[in-house]
Amino acid sequence: MRIHDPSIVGKLAELHVELQYGAALSDLTSLGIGGTTDLLRIKKHESLPDLLSLLDVNDIPHKFLGGGSNLLVGDGELPWVVLQLVRPEPDVVLDGSLARVDAAADLGRMITFCAKNDLGGMEGLIGVPGTVGGALRMNAGAYGMQIGNYVREVTLYRSASRKVEILRGDQISFEYRHTSFAPDDMMLAVILELPSKPYKEILKGIRICNEKRRSSQPLGQKSAGCIFKNPPGASAGRMIDELGLKGLSVGDAQVSDRHANFFVNAGHASAKDMLALIAGVRERVQKSFGVSLENEVVVWNA
Ligand SMILES: Cc1cc2nc3c(=O)[nH]c(=O)nc-3n(C[C@H](O)[C@H](O)[C@H](O)COP(=O)(O)OP(=O)(O)OC[C@H]3O[C@@H](n4cnc5c(N)ncnc54)[C@H](O)[C@@H]3O)c2cc1C
């Protein structure tokens, strides 16, 4: 979707929003798949309510992009614009055991920065790409921990009130790759409360998690991490592996031969290829195990 109207373009500039015409989402997502649309980069959190009413009044649908590491975006010209926060400097400020973090901060860099200041707890998430906002939205987790465990407070634009509000951690429910935020809420910042630990000890944990990822995941290939959520008490990857589906492909979309729940873009896969592969694998698992796998990857298809 393209914004041509000069009056809207002028208002965007007044709201400190940078407009990038025809951005290729394939360049902005870790899967390297996705068509084109206008990208609106937000420099000031305060302008969000006015920006969203501007889009609303002009019937311009939108989606929020973090680091693009959990997304499968449709092909061709996309029927909505994409909003993304610009990362401020500094993006993490420490105050005792509290870390005040901007939603646009890079998750890995934030974890490393906190670790160097003897604040741990998040070691399991090292190696998870993307932003802190995206991690909050998805309640990112790995190796027995999840970001939600450390959330003290979230500042967000709430679609229900159309205002920027602050929620305490205990007002939010964080479940396995699911949160109680509304689909149109936008994370702006978070305060994490992290346990004190000596840097050396945190580093040990980080190295163990890095090694686990390196030995089991196709890190050199384009992916969005796990495609499916694990059903209660079972492993999606194990079921796919048991069916012998590693290496199965549709065009350049392929079930990784390293980790059966990672689907990779082995060249120039389209969203159509990847969606067909996901549907095919889901059907085979349903037939053989009677389990309906739910997507972990977020699909933005027209
Ligand atoms: C190699 C690899 C390994 C991975 N390993 C893991 C893992 O171990 N555990 C895990 O949980 N995930 C993992 N992932 C998936 C992904 O990295 C996480 O889900 C990550 O937290 C997504 O963050 P993002 O900023 O990239 O979000 P995006 O992919 O940009 O967006 C994901 C969703 O969050 C929403 N969103 C993003 N930012 C905001 C915001 N500020 N406000 C509101 N909504 C927002 C988007 O609209 C979208 O619905 C992995 C991915 C890869 C490529």
Ligand 1 binding pocket mutation candidate from 128, 228, 230 (most atoms within 8 A of CB): 128
Query: Chain centroid to CA 278: how far?
Result: 19
Q: Which of 28, 48, 52, 70 to mutate to test the pocket of ligand 1 (most atoms within 8 A of CB)?
A: 70
List pLDDT tens digits, range 70-112: 999 999 999 999 999 999 999 999 999 999 999 999 999 999 9
Residue 65 is encoded by which pair of tokens?
């992009």
The alpha carbon of 296 and the centre of ligand 1 are apart by a number of angstroms equal to 10
What is the band of 231 on the pLDDT scale with cuts at 50, 70, 90?
very high
Domains and CATH numbers, the chain: 6-85 (3.30.43.10), 92-215 (3.30.465.10), 218-300 (3.90.78.10)
C-alpha span between 169 and 162 (Å, rounded): 20
How large is the average pLDDT for residues 179-193? 97
Percent of the chain predicted with pLDDT > 70: 100
Which helix H or strand E contains 241, and what residues bound it? helix 236-242
Question: Does residue 302 surpass a pLDDT of 80?
Answer: no
pTM beyond cutoff 0.85: yes
Of all protein residues, the one whose alpha carbon is nearest to atom 35 of ligand 1 is 134
CA distance 183 to 166: 17
Give the model's pLDDT for residue 240.
98
pLDDT tens track for 55-75: 999 999 999 999 999 999 999
Residue 7: pLDDT above 80? yes
> Cα(24)–Cα(90) distance, rounded to whole angstroms?
28
pLDDT of residue 205: 96
pLDDT at 36 over 70: yes
- Measured in residues, the chain has a length of 302
Which pair of tokens denotes residue 264?
């990779």
Residue 244 reports pLDDT greater than 90: yes
Confidence band of 31 (pLDDT split at 50, 70, 90):
very high
Task: Give the mean model confidence (pLDDT) for residues 208-227.
Answer: 96
**Mean pLDDT computed over every residue of the chain:** 97
Distance CA 170, CA 198 (A): 28
Q: What is the pLDDT of residues 124-174, one digit of tens each?
A: 999 999 999 999 999 999 999 999 999 999 999 999 999 999 999 999 999
Q: What is the DSSP letter of 261?
A: T
Q: Within 6 Å (CB) of ligand 1, which residues are found?
A: 30, 63-71, 103, 128-131, 133-135, 137-138, 140-142, 186-187, 217, 219, 223-225, 298
Annotation marks residue 177 as catalytic: yes
What pLDDT is stored for residue 252 in this prediction? 98
Tell me which DSSP letter residue 108 carries: H
CA-nearest residue for atom 14, ligand 1, is 225
Cβ atoms of 245 and 286 within 8 Å: the answer is no
